[in-house]
Structure 1
Amino acid sequence: MHPEADQLNQQFPSVLFHLFSEKGKHLFSPQKGILKQAAEAKNSRLNATIGIALDDNKEPLGLPSLIKWLPDKLSLPYAPGTGVAELRDVWQEKMLEKNPSLQLENISKPVVTSGLSHGVFLAGTLFLNEGEKILLPDKFWGNYKMLLGVNVGAELSTFPTFKGNGLDTEALQNALATQSGKTVLILNFPNNPSGYSPTKEEADEMVEILTAHAETHPTVVVCDDAYWGLVYEDEIERESLFGKLSHAHENLLAVKLDGATKEDFAWGLRVGFITLGNKNMTPEIADAFEKKVAGAIRSQISMACHPSQMAVLRSLKSPTYEVEKKANFDTLETRYQAVRNVLEKNKDRYSKYFAPIPFNAGYFMCIELIPELNAEQIRQNLIRDFDTGVIATDNMLRVAFSCAAASDIPELFENIYAACEAAR
Structure 2
Amino acid sequence: MKSDIIWLTLVMGVILIARMDLVATGAVCSDDYWPCTCKVVNTSAGVNRLQIHCDQIRYVGIVKAVFERTPSADVHSFYMTIPETSGSIPEYFFKRSIVRNMHLSCQTDRTYLSLDMYSLTSVRNFLESFHIDNCDLSYINWETFDNFHFLKSLTISRTINKGILPGHFNFPFHFNIFPGLINLNVTHLYNFENFFSDAKYPSLVNLVMNYCPSVYSSVEYLKTSLDFLRNNGFEIVEMNGNQFSDVDAEKLLNQFSYGSKETLRSFSLRENRLTRLPNIGNFPALAHLRLDNNNFTNENFSLAQLNGSRLQTLTLSSCNLKNIKPHALEVDSDHFQLKLLDLDNNNLTKFKYSVFKSILRKMADHWEDPGVIHVHRNAFDCDCHLAWLIVDNRHLLRHVRGARCSDGLAFTKLWPSQFAACNGTSGQLKPRSKHP
Structure with the bigger percentage of helix:
1
Higher strand share: 2
Per the shorter chain, which TM-score range? Answer: under 0.3
* Structure of higher CA gyration radius: 2
